[in-house]
C-alpha cells in the first residue's frame, strides 16, 4: 500500500526540500504550514494552510496519514531565537504537543521530531576548541534558553509517547543546516545565508560586518544530506535522539573566507561584538549516526556553499 505522509512546516526551508524527496520516493504527501513555500511551488499532492498551534487543525492535518515528519516551528537564526523566547516557547509547545497527540489519536505509525544542537549544555560549548557533542552529552541539561529547552522537553515527550502508547517516535538533532531555498534576509536567516547575502551585496573589494569576534566555531550540513539523513532515520528502528550534521568544525572567520573565495571578491571583516553569537564552540560527534544509519553526510562544505552562494546571488540580482 502506498504510504501517506504528512510534512508539517512544508512551507519552510527543510520541509520544502523534504516534500520533494518524498515525492521522488513515490509517497503520497500532504504538506501543512501557515505559509506556502516562498521561492517555488510545493511538490506535495495536497498542501493545506493550517495553524498547528490549534488542536483541531492538528487533528485535521493527521487524518488518514501513516507517518508525520513534524518540522513546523517558530524559529530563526541566533538574533531571532535570543530575542523572542516567550513567543518561540509558546508557539512550539502548542504545535508539538498537539501534533504528537493528534498522531496518537489518529493512530499514525510514525512521528519524527526535529530537535536541535541547541539542546546541548552551555557548559560543554564555552570555548572555540570544544570536543564534538555526543548524544549522551545532553544531560545534565543546560540547554539554550527558550528554544533549546522547548526542544529538549519535546524530545522527552517523544520518548514517553513511544513507551506509553507505542507510537514509533524518531528524534533528530540538526547541526546548522544550510542550502538554497532558505531564508537569507529579514532577521530569521542563519549565519551561512547571512554571510552569503552580505558578500553577494559587497563590492569586488569590500568589508562586511561579522557578529561577534568570528572565532566562534560550528559545523554546517548541506540540505540534501539533511533530508537524506532524516529519511534514512525514519526507515530505521532507532528511537533515541540522533545527531545529524557534519563533523567538520570551522570558525565563522573561516566560513567568511570560504564564501569570499567562492564569490571571487576580496572581503575584510568588521566585528560587531554587541551582536549575539550563541555558544562559543560546537561540533557534532557522528559516531552514533554512522553506527545507526551506516551513512553520514557526503556533501562538502565548499560544494554546498557554492550552490547556496550562487542561489542567493541570483535572488539578490532579480530582487
Ligand atoms: P523554517 O522556519 O524554514 O520552517 C519552519 C516552518 O514552520 C515555517 O515555514 C513556518 O511558517 C512553519 N510554522 C511556524 N509556525 C507554524 C504554525 N503555527 N503552524 C504551521 N506551521 C508553522 O525552518 P527550518 O530550517 O526548515 O526548520 C525545520 C525544523 O528543523 C524546525 O523544527 C527547526 O526548529 C528544526 N531545526 C532546524 C535547524 C536548521 O539549521 N535549519 C537546526 C536545528 C533544528
Per-residue confidence in pLDDT tens, the chain, 319 aa: 889 999 999 999 999 999 999 999 999 999 999 999 999 999 999 999 999 999 999 999 999 999 999 999 999 988 899 999 999 999 999 999 999 999 999 999 999 999 999 999 999 999 999 999 999 999 999 999 999 999 999 999 999 999 999 999 999 999 999 999 999 999 999 999 999 999 999 999 999 999 999 999 999 999 999 999 999 999 999 999 999 999 999 999 999 999 999 999 999 999 999 999 899 999 999 999 999 999 999 999 999 999 999 999 999 999 7
Domain ranges of the chain: 4-177+222-244, 179-219+249-279+299-318
Pocket test for ligand 1, best of 73, 111, 173, 229 (most atoms within 8 A of CB): 73
Pocket test for ligand 1, best of 58, 75, 175, 182 (most atoms within 8 A of CB): 75
pTM higher than 0.95: yes
Q: Which helix (H) or strand (E) holds 33?
A: strand 28-33
**Number of other CB atoms surrounding residue 60 within 10 Å:** 15
Question: Distance from first CA to last CA of the chain, Å, rounded?
Answer: 44
Take atom 43 of ligand 1 and give the residue whose Cα is closest.
116
Take atom 21 of ligand 1 and give the residue whose Cα is closest.
33
Take atom 35 of ligand 1 and give the residue whose Cα is closest.
114
| Spatial contact of 242 and 307, defined as CB atoms under 8 Å apart | no
CATH architecture of residue range(s) 179-219+249-279+299-318: Alpha-Beta Complex (3.90)
What span, in angstroms and rounded, lies between the C-alpha atoms of 230 and 242?
10
Output the CA 12–ligand 1 centroid distance in Å: 6
What is the atom index within ligand 1 of the atom nearest the CA of 14? 26
3-class DSSP state for residue 42?
coil
| Cell triple for 162 | 513511544
Output the CA 74–ligand 1 centroid distance in Å: 6
Residues classed as catalytic: 147
Pocket test for ligand 1, best of 14, 50, 184 (most atoms within 8 A of CB): 14
Fold held by 4-177+222-244: Rossmann fold (3.40.50)
DSSP 268-306: EEEEETTS---SS---B--HHHHHHHS----S-HHHHHH
**Number of other CB atoms surrounding residue 189 within 10 Å:** 22
What residue has cell string 533515541? 240
Pseudo-torsion of CA 1, 68, 18, 186, nearest 10°?
160
Amino acid at each position: 500500500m502506498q504510504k501517506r505522509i504528512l510534512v508539517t512546516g512544508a512551507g519552510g526551508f527543510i520541509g520544502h526540500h523534504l516534500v520533494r524527496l518524498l515525492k521522488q520516493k513515490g509517497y503520497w504527501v500532504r504538506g501543512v504550514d501557515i505559509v506556502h513555500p516562498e521561492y517555488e511551488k510545493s511538490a506535495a499532492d495536497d498542501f493545506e494552510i493550517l495553524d498547528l498551534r490549534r488542536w483541531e487543525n492538528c487533528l485535521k492535518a493527521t487524518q488518514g496519514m501513516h507517518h508525520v515528519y513534524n518540522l513546523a516551528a517558530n524559529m530563526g537564526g541566533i538574533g531571532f531565537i535570543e530575542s523572542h523566547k516567550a513567543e518561540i516557547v509558546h508557539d512550539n509547545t502548542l504545535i508539538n504537543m498537539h501534533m504528537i497527540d493528534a498522531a496518537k489519536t489518529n493512530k499514525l505509525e510514525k512521528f519524527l521530531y526535529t530537535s536541535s544542537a541547541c539542546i546541548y549544555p552551555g557548559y560543554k560549548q564555552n570555548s572555540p576548541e570544544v570536543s564534538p557533542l555526543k548524544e549522551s552529552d545532553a544531560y545534565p541539561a543546560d540547554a539554550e534558553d527558550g528554544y533549546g529547552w522547548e526542544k529538549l522537553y519535546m524530545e522527552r515527550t517523544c520518548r514517553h509517547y513511544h513507551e506509553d502508547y507505542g507510537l514509533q517516535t524518531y528524534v533528530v538533532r540538526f547541526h546548522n543546516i544550510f542550502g538554497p531555498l532558505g531564508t537569507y534576509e529579514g532577521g530569521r536567516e542563519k549565519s551561512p545565508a547571512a554571510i552569503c547575502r552580505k558578500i553577494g551585496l559587497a563590492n569586488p573589494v569590500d568589508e562586511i560586518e561579522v557578529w561577534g569576534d568570528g572565532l566562534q566555531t560550528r559545523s554546517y550540513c548541506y540540505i540534501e544530506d539533511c533530508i537524506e539523513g532524516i529519511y534514512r532515520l525514519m526507515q530505521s528502528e532507532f528511537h533515541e535522539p540522533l545527531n545529524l550534521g557534519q563533523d567538520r568544525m570551522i570558525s565563522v572567520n573561516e566560513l567568511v573566507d570560504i564564501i569570499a573565495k567562492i564569490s571571487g571578491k576580496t572581503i575584510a571583516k568588521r566585528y560587531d561584538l554587541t551582536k549575539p553569537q550563541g555558544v562559543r564552540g560546537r561540533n557534532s560527534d557522528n559516531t552514533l549516526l554512522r553506527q545507526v544509519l551506516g551513512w553520514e553526510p557526503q556533501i562538502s562544505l565548499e560544494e554546498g556553499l557554492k550552490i547556496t552562494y550562487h542561489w542567493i546571488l541570483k535572488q539578490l540580482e532579480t530582487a
